A = this chain, B = another copy of it.
Amino acid sequence: MSVPTPSEPTTDIPPTHAVVDLLGLVALGELLAFERMAADARLAPDLRRRAALGEMAAAEIGNYRRLAARIAALGALPDDAMARYVTPLQAYHDSTEPRDWAEAVTKAYVGDGITDDFLREIAGALAEPDRRLVLDVLHESRYADFAATEIRIAVEADPRVADRLSMWARRLVGEALSQAGRVASADRGALTALTGPGEQVDVPGLFRRLTAAHTARMAAVGLNN
């Protein structure tokens, strides 16, 4: 694996260690999302929905596998690439355990939406084939549709649920932000490396875009920010 020294001229191709770290972050996200969704499936009100969430979970593991394979192809160990991010990502999930089905599908809806926006941003900074790989990890729209439908059903059945789920969504975003800060601290500079030498990562811009998209998703299912 090549590691550029500070005096080497940098190019437009991101340094391998930065790509490995980033893929490690995404891979770990997929692995944990798989485990959590599989666990949350047990909150489903019937077997059909239980299996639906199970299938959504299984899709994450397929993604995990491809990311891990690419990390290995780049000459690194997937475990090593993921290790530095375990604490904050695990903490995010540990502090956002859904208590019922409505919270479980809301977490899938909110979490997948923000993750996908973040992945699109990352992909823009990568070269092929990593750009394509990251874009392939985006969630199938039918899963977002499924989660959105379930939220709307819950809100229609009981309007007070809208307030509770809105508060839950705010909690999810808050926890995600707080752990994102810890991810950035654990990071070895992958994000900075990916935006080229001398350029600051446009963090305010990134947050603005992620927030706007999240707000729109909330409105689409009858929840407020």
Residues of chain A whose beta carbon lies under 8 Å from any beta carbon of chain B: 28, 31, 34-35, 38-39, 41-42, 46-48, 50-51, 54-55, 57-58, 61-62, 64-65, 68, 78-79, 82-83, 86
Q: Which of A41, A47, A50, A68 has the most CB of B within 10 A?
A: A47
Residue of B nearest to A77 (CB): B48
How far apart are A101's CB and chain B's nearest CB, in angstroms? 15
A-B contacts besides A35-B38, A35-B39, 20 pairs, CB < 8 Å: A31-B47, A31-B50, A31-B54, A34-B54, A34-B58, A35-B54, A38-B38, A38-B39, A39-B39, A46-B79, A47-B78, A47-B82, A47-B86, A48-B78, A48-B79, A51-B78, A54-B61, A55-B61, A57-B61, A58-B61
Q: Is the CB of B47 within 8 A of A54?
A: no
Residue of B nearest to A57 (CB): B38
Q: Which of A28, A31, A35, A46 has the most CB of B within 10 A?
A: A35
Q: Give the number of copies in the complex.
A: 2
How far apart are A22's CB and chain B's nearest CB, in angstroms? 16
How long is the Cα–Cα vector from A42 to B79 in the complex, in angstroms?
A: 14
Task: Kindly list chain B residues whose C-beta atoms are within 8 Å of the C-beta of A50.
Answer: 31
Task: Kindly list chain B residues whose C-beta atoms are within 8 Å of the C-beta of A83.
Answer: 47
Task: Kindly list chain B residues whose C-beta atoms are within 8 Å of the C-beta of A41.
Answer: 35
How far apart are A78's CB and chain B's nearest CB, in angstroms? 7
Residue of B nearest to A39 (CB): B39
Q: Is the CB of B39 within 8 A of A51?
A: no
How far apart are A103's CB and chain B's nearest CB, in angstroms? 18
Q: Which of B38, B48, B54, B65 contacts A55 (CB 8 A)?
A: B65
How far apart are A59's CB and chain B's nearest CB, in angstroms? 8
Q: Which of B35, B54, B68, B82 contacts A64 (CB 8 A)?
A: B54
How far apart are A97's CB and chain B's nearest CB, in angstroms? 13
Q: Is the CB of A62 within 8 A of B58?
A: yes
Q: Which of B38, B46, B48, B62 contacts A34 (CB 8 A)?
A: B38
How long is the Cα–Cα vector from A220 to B39 in the complex, in angstroms?
A: 32
A-B pairs with beta carbons under 8 Å apart, 6 shown: A35-B41, A38-B39, A38-B57, A47-B78, A47-B82, A51-B78
